[in-house]
A and B are shown apart, each in its own frame.
Chain A
Amino acid sequence: MISATHALFRYACVALMLVLAGCGARAAETRNPNMIVIGWIAAPPGFNPYVTISSAAVMIEDEIYAPLIDLGPDLRPRWDTSLAYKVDVTDGARRYVLHLRRGVRWSDGAPLDAKDVAFTILLERNPLLLQSKGGDFTLMQSVRATDPYTVEVRLKRPSPPFLENALSIEDTLVLPRHVLGRYPPLSAAEASFLNADAAFSQHPVTSGPWRILRNVSESYLILERSPSYWGRKPILNQVAFRVYPQQDSLYAAVDAGEIDVTDIPPNLWRVHDRLRGNHRFVNWPWNVTFLLLPNYHDAGIPWIHDVRVKQALMYAIDRRFITQGIMSGQADVLNGPIPTFSPFYDHSLRTYEYDPAKARAMLDAAGWRMHGGVRVKDGMPMRVTLKTGGATDAVAANIAELIQANLKAVGIDCTPENEEIQTFFVDLHHSRFQLALRGLILPPYPDDYKYYYSTQTAANGGYNAGFYSNAQIDKAIDQARTAPSPAASRAALRRYQQLAARNLPVLYLYSNRLGAVVPADLRGYELDPLAPAALPMGLEFWRRN
């Protein structure tokens, strides 16, 4: 006997099914099929490049702001897309004169001139800005606008990396002085104002090929072609970015046809050919290296000072499997501080092939003898903890576990310790680790000063968290970054690489590659080793066949 309520319930269920089915027809259309949608796992929190930090933010900022000096995928300046169409380097590489284009306008109509450039170069060195360059004026002597379209920067000493590392798109995106220049330059008031200026962060005034049409925070963003752009206008009218915080949902979204372009992480690269739809897969090197950073001040691992032991470790770790197996080919073995694809790489560098037998022989020769599964010397066993940060990364976990197995096979007891990401950074900063798995984002022009120079410890404002100190390497780094001519600098870089490959300040593991999926009919995308996010860039050149 069915009651009224029960019957009602049945009808409601049926109605629900019908509505759902009806929605099914519309539901699959979550976007206009003519618009290209790029998917990413993080949303840009804001668009002031000197206040926000986020790969997503940098990605968008690179599109909406015109770069002072644009860099191409070959890491060299590209003048026809730069605000500065010409740079004169004189006075023994101590004086840079930037010639700016005329007729450039901000999105609010105001003209862009040398004062904006000078303002920005000073602004990014305000030490109180959240993403400041640290107030480092040891290199720059003066910056001024000599006329409305010329900026002169004077350095105290020559610096080969200066153009690519400090003035390029990597570092300097020009901001509008007429909007943000309300306080004296380099003042605390200026920093306080900018750090909390939500109005500009969310609705920036820009000068690039794109501008933000709509931004729904944490959900999606639509860029449209900027009508006031001075250069070659983008071919596409609009491009959309969608946020999927979960990597697997991102992948599912491509499979479901909801997004067109996204990165393919290593664990999915293995099976990417199963994706349905008309896709092309691209793969390119990335200027990011991963290495094992030892702590030279840790008393528990005295053997780290012995170069023979470090070389043995390089032979003991199966880096080939890390790159081809765990990373599914999305990585290249790293032989030194500079990755193999870089124009600065020295091809005559020695390599360390995977050879556990050789590793064991070397360790024996260094006086570490096997004793019950672990090598011992003078009563001290070879034990080490390997710290990694961020527990949701299966790839990093696998790498740590592989290293553990590799080290065990040659008689070293290694314990991986995975930490929550903020705790990991704290421990890195306070040098509370023995070995840490660390990734470095390299600048366009190689400069390892802050990482391995003996004086650049954390206390002195550097990143030498492992307290590495080697006079020869110090000298090579110095020569590379202060040489008066490009040729001399390159020669010094070669020397630095040779020394580093032999003396091993760190254990070099691999340099990343990136993989992405794009629609098969997409053309004009750029595969940039300096890409802020693992996506093809060069949006203004994109077009569909």
Chain B
Amino acid sequence: MTEAAEEPRSRRLRITFVAALGMLWIAAAAIACAAGPSVLHVNAYATDVAHAYDAPSRVHALGTDGLGRDELARLLQGGRITLSVGIVAALVSMFIGTVYGAVSGYYGAWLDTLLMRVVDVLLSIPTLFLLLLLAAMFHGSLLALMLVIGATSWLGPARLVRGEVLTLKERLFVEAARSIGAANSRIIFRHVVPNAAGTIVTTTTFMIASAMLAETALSYLGIGVRAPTPSWGNLLSSAQSDIFAGAWWLIGPPGLAILLSVCAFNFVGDWLREST
């Protein structure tokens, strides 16, 4: 890494337009999904077969689906699921990755080589099969899905954190801590990791984005969020054929919701990376 002098602090915290937009969208989406269904008095589960496939109207702001359920309600309900899957999976991924990478980078030598070789082995294991297997074994539980997405995506963060730690461990404050006899684990987790916070936070943000996309892809393959629980991923994949069937209100909103949310997290992550 560069040994350039630290940039002046005043430059670092300037927010960019897209990052601000991103943060606004995330906040708005989170609030809408959390409070929306109750505030708007819409029900994601009430079927009304006489009004199936209705276009958007005053009664149903985003129209209805094949069973007459309110699409706006399903979108908001689905948002809760997708956003929480994304955030929890990212946190799981970062937690495992940070611990693994920090330990590997700090101790170095044979432990580092061994741990990195294990990463190589894990990279060669077919992830998709692992996901299918876990989905089959846990009968589609949401918690299992979050853990599974997290558990199959920590390898990248681990490498990044390891890279940061490798640099940081040569710094003065580490020397100082060692000289006063602090235990290694204390040094790692009380001193080194907090200094890598920039990288960690940035990577977490990107991981949320990719976890949300992963949920979408898995729901498409049938091993993500299962019916009847709506999620943006499975709303989008069950409405796939509506690209040809003309029910744009069933495919447009979930697609846009995913696109904008993932974009938002990516913009924020990029801004974080630029400014730390």
Contacts and interface: CB of A to CB of B under 8 A. Distances in A.
| Direct interface between A and B, CB < 8 A | yes
Interface in A389-444: 390-392, 394, 397-398, 400-402, 404-405, 416-420, 422-423
**B-side interface size class:** 20 to 34
B226 A270 contact: no
A321 interface: yes
Contact of A274 (B49, B237, B238, B244): B244
A135 interface: no
Given A402-B49, A418-B140, A420-B132, A397 B244 contact: no
A417 B67 CA distance: 18
Interface string B105-147: 0000000000000000000000000001001100110000000
Contact of A423 (B53, B66, B136, B238): B136
A391 B52 contact: no
A318 B49 contact: yes
Given A270-B53, A271-B246, A420 B222 contact: yes
A202 interface: no
Contacts of A401: 47, 67, 227-228
Given A251-B241, A418-B140, A398 B246 contact: no
Contacts of B46: 405
| Residue among A321, A391, A398, A422 with max Cβ neighbours from chain B (10 Å) | A391
Interface residues of A, number: 32
A394 B66 CA distance: 10
Contacts of A390: 222
B241 A267 contact: yes
Contact of B228 (A270, A416, A419): A416
A268 interface: yes
Interface in A367-387: none
Nearest to B140: A418
A525 B226 CA distance: 39
A136 interface: no
A248 B244 contact: yes
A247 interface: yes
A326 B67 contact: yes
B49 A268 contact: no
A324 to B, nearest CB: 9
Residue from A321, A417, A420 with most neighbouring chain B CB atoms (10 Å): A420
Interface in B138-183: 139-140
A392 B221 CA distance: 7
Contacts of A392: 220-222, 237
B243 interface: yes
A282 interface: no
A255 B244 CA distance: 9
B227 A267 contact: no
A391 B222 CA distance: 5
Interface of A: 247-248, 251-252, 255, 267-268, 270-271, 274, 318, 321, 325-326, 390-392, 394, 397-398, 400-402, 404-405, 416-420, 422-423
Interface of B: 45-47, 49, 52-53, 66-67, 132, 135-136, 139-140, 220-223, 226-228, 237-238, 240-241, 243-246
6 contacts: A251-B241, A394-B238, A397-B227, A419-B136, A420-B132, A420-B222
